[in-house]
Amino acid sequence: MSAQTPQPEPLVGGPNDPEHDPSASYALEPDYAAALTRRIVSSSGESALSISPVNGQPLAHVPQSSEDDVIEAFDRARKAQAAWARTSLDQRAEVLLRLHDIVLDREQEICDLAVWESGKARKDAYLEVYHVALTARYYARTIHQHLDTQRRPGVVPGATRIDVNRVPKGVVGIISPWNYPFTMALCDGLPALAAGNAVVTKPDSRTMLTALLGAQLLEEAGFPKDLWTVVAGPGSRVGTSLINKADYVCFTGSTTTGKKVAAGCAERLIGCSLELGGKNPILILRDAAIEKAAEGAVRATYSNAGQLCVSTERLLVADQVYDKFVQRFVARTKAMVLGPGHEWTTDMGSLISQDQLDTVTAHVEDAVAKGAKVLTGGRARPDLGPYFYEPTILEGVTPDMTCFGNETFGPVISIYRFHDENEAIAKANEGTYGLNAAIFSQDGRRARAIAREIKCGTVNINEAYGATFASIDAPMGGMRESGMGRRQGAEGIHRYTEAQSVGTQRVWGFRPPKGVSNEIFAKTLTVSARVMKKLGRA
């Protein structure tokens, strides 16, 4: 299917329907969903029902993969990878740039499906489209920079030549989450493909359709058939089988599951990259621009209903601006438009499931029962849909409350006062996580100095998370129990390669020339080392 072929709309009554009525209900086209699920490698005869969190409506019966299906997927991927690894870097870049255009051309379709399947607001779904396009373009434009063979200094100038090659790992296994079902399904795999690998992916069962649409667009862009294969099923079966077959594993999800993935990879002595949980802080310094900080804190906290790995759950505010900031933050939070996310005017959509709603509810109820104060929110909204919960601000949260150190992963933030910046840094570094942080200050130099003391893989200044996450040349990942490895930038593509050093020795090897004793040869090397140091050589 070419990029120019007209595509079916996934939604009946959606924003792109000529007869669209904002007050009417939406429905997913059954044939559209069925066409996507046929891309799953499955012969088990089993299926699982996919349900929309927007209104509880069934979306599709998703075929499930068996262990034999996982083996087949890897067999097909290995055959495709062998041919793909021989393609030129320029050919790979061309396909990535075609994907860039197709993703932007199909923006509305992708947003429709992501909203319908994950329950998020449309503006959050669009950021997935934009991020995938950025990722495809970045690796297309920098592919030679990252993957060309590089010359390195040899031990004997003029006599030793060193070339460093970047050799693809083979077949990469990717286990992607539900919270950003389009970008998380694709963005980690694009550099793997650019590096000459194939991919076998297991998207989360709750958002399979959006991930399958991504797989379809990859093929439309020109990536060979079977270079990107999709399996579906419970992690205990399919996820474990994937880890047992892959040459490298990329996982995004909870810290608990990430530790199990790391253990499985360690058993096989293969590499992995893990982007895990967080209890991310924002620091509002005494010189922060209050309105800008309040707006940024709202986005940091409530984007995707707080179901974002880099979203904020702890807000640390300087004494000098505490009262004024809290007033504006509460006012902006109260003004948010909560509801089904198909319209651009919605600020926050639904949680993903009953389990997620139960976690959010339990965290808030526990905090209130132990003395925390709800400044706004604090209620489920079944009148809007089965899993809606109001954006919530808590004050007076203490260490004995569940939400103090445990990740809520919902639209709930705890606000704390601090007296000096050393105290704020110490509070920001409490706990075992270290994924993302934000600092609001009008003194950029001071804020950047404070950032170096915060134990997080990314720190944003005067921005919630977008400054780092959208800058694809910047590595993104966690410290401590928030993960290992990095996506994006050079680190994001080099993780999928083996560095191979090729040394060519001219004139003589590392042995004494004929007629020279080992002792004299050793003395010659010592003199050579001293000369090299004086010449400034590494």
**Minimal CA–CA distance to 458: which of 191, 275, 254?**
275
| DSSP, residue by residue, 324-392 | HHHHHHHHHHHT--BS-TTSTT-SB---S-HHHHHHHHHHHHHHHHTT-EEEE---B-TTT-TT-B--E
* 413 touches 427 (CB < 8 A): no
Q: Are 241 and 70 in contact (CB under 8 A)?
A: yes
Distance CA(478)–CA(485), nearest Å, equals: 8
Structure token digits, residue 98: 């075609």
- β pairing state of 271-275 and 280-284: unpaired
How many CB atoms are located within 10 Å of the residue 336 CB? 18
SS3 content of the chain, % helix, strand, coil (to 5): 45, 20, 35
Alpha helices in 187-341 (DSSP H): 189-194, 208-221, 240-245, 255-268, 290-302, 322-334
Helix (H, G, I), strand (E, B) or coil at 43: coil
Q: Which two tokens stand for residue 201?
A: 């992916």
Residue 32 near residue 8 (C-beta atoms within 8 A): yes
SS3 446: helix
The kind and range of the H/E element at 526 are helix 518-534
3-state secondary structure of 11: strand
> CB-side exposure of 209: number of CA atoms within 13 Å?
31
Q: What are phi and psi of 213, to 5 degrees?
A: -60, -40
In the numeric block, which tokens belong to residue 202?
């297991």
DSSP class of residue 223 equals P
Tell me, what DSSP letter sits at residue 396? S
Residue 61: which H helix or E strand, with range? strand 58-63
How many Cβ atoms sit within 10 Å of the Cβ of residue 90? 10
Find the DSSP H helices in 120-223.
Answer: 122-141, 143-147, 183-186, 189-194, 208-221
| Residue found by looking up tokens 């991930």 in the block | 211
Contact 180, 153 (CB under 8 A): no
Enumerate the active-site residues.
275, 309
Q: From CA 139, how far away is CA 144, in angstroms rounded?
A: 9
